[in-house]
Structure 1
Amino acid sequence: MDAGAQAEPALESLLDLAREAATLKLLAERVTAAQRSVKARTQAALDLASRRDGVERIAATLPGGETVATISLRRGETGPVVVDEDALARWVRRTYPDEEWTTTEVVRRVKPWKAAELLAEMEAAGAPQIADRATGEVHTVPGVVVRPTRARTHALTWRKGGREATAAAWRTGQLTGQLAALTAGGDAEDAPV
């Protein structure tokens, strides 16, 4: 070997890498399916507990009682949504004929910046209504409804050391019941979650 030449690093076994890739892919598919399922079940349970008892958060604890995370309910949002752009554009043109807040093409559209401004006013009002600043008249705006714009959801926030404690509980077998679906037989779609 030449003194200037470096030894080629040892290559990992291609067979071992292929096996590891296949195993991790299966595990990822099962984890994704399990996460989707537990997220939906947790949301349903949080929604029920919130309606029934006013519960907004719950602690995630290990079998030994250590709190590792908190799951908190996030409220959905409700706001104005344009459901008939043509009706909104006709109303804006009729109500503000001297303003150039619409464009005429094959159909009339409200310019995006003005639509955003009008929707913000309606969101503040909590209704598809605009108060005319000049006259004080309140207009009910056609083509817009107020409805949920983002569903309620929840978020998990780890406590300090919570990830490490959960990993340790996993390694020591304390979470076998919670993780059984990941190692059960069958395809990821068929695995119980």
Structure 2
Amino acid sequence: MSTNDTTAPAVESLRDLAIEEAALDLLAARVAAAKKDVRARTQLALDAAAKKDGVERIAALLPNGEQVATISLRKGETGPVVTDEEALARWIRQTFPDQEWTETRIVRTVKPWKLAELVAQMEAIGAAKIPHPTSGEVLEPPGVVWKPTRSRTHALTWRKGGKDATAEAWRTGALARQFAAITAGGEEQ
């Protein structure tokens, strides 16, 4: 092309744009479903490896052996969860009648600031219990249980250049086995 060439670049056709959008929509849906599935399978495998051998991280390696990322286990958390705020509010009012920690509406509720304080005390103890402020007796308030508050999960951390190397491996077909299900036929996947 010469420097004097004034030919305008080719304009994309509406048909080309429409099929590109449709194809990308399909690909995005299949990738999202595949990612959800592989995350669940990875979590099960990591949990099993952690229980059996204490494994908490695994390298993501390309077929050529290049490490592109690390997948690390993140531990879940447990804590107090208020399951019946009305029962808890009645108990607090009966147990601490001199305090203004509750307010009466049609339903008795615990003031949000006090509820947060009580939950923090339970977290510090490590159980759905609170100490009485004057007697020190450890009390078990109704309407509160100790259960998981955040699921155990894992995180993927890319190495420098890992995304580019993975994209190249995908482009050249080195990851064809990993992506076969995404491009397989079938209307609903």
Q: TM exceeds 0.5?
A: yes
Q: Which residue of 2 aligns with 1:161?
A: 161
1:39 aligns with 2:36: no
* TM-score, reference length from structure 1: 0.90
Cα deviation code 1:108-152 (max 9, x no counterpart): 110111111101100111111111232222212111111001111
Q: Which residue of 2 aligns with 1:145?
A: 145
For this pair of structures, how many residues does the alignment match?
A: 182
Q: Which residue of 2 aligns with 1:185?
A: 185
1:132 aligns with 2:124: no
- Structure 2 gaps, min length 5: 1-7
What is the alpha-carbon root mean square deviation over aligned residues?
1.5
Q: Which residue of 2 aligns with 1:3?
A: none
- Structure 1 gaps, min length 5: 1-7
Cα deviation code 1:70-96 (max 9, x no counterpart): 001111110000111122101111122
1:188 shift after superposition: 4.5
1:9 shift after superposition: 8.8
Distance 1:133 1:10 in 2: 78
Cα deviation code 1:152-176 (max 9, x no counterpart): 1111000111101101111111111
1:10 shift after superposition: 6.7
Q: Which residue of 2 aligns with 1:112?
A: 112
**AA at the equivalent of 1:119:** V
**AA at the equivalent of 1:131:** P
**AA at the equivalent of 2:44:** A
1:42 shift after superposition: 0.5
1:173 aligns with 2:176: no
1:184 shift after superposition: 0.8
Distance 1:35 1:138 in 2: 46
Q: Which residue of 1 aligns with 2:64?
A: 64
* TM-score, reference length from structure 2: 0.92
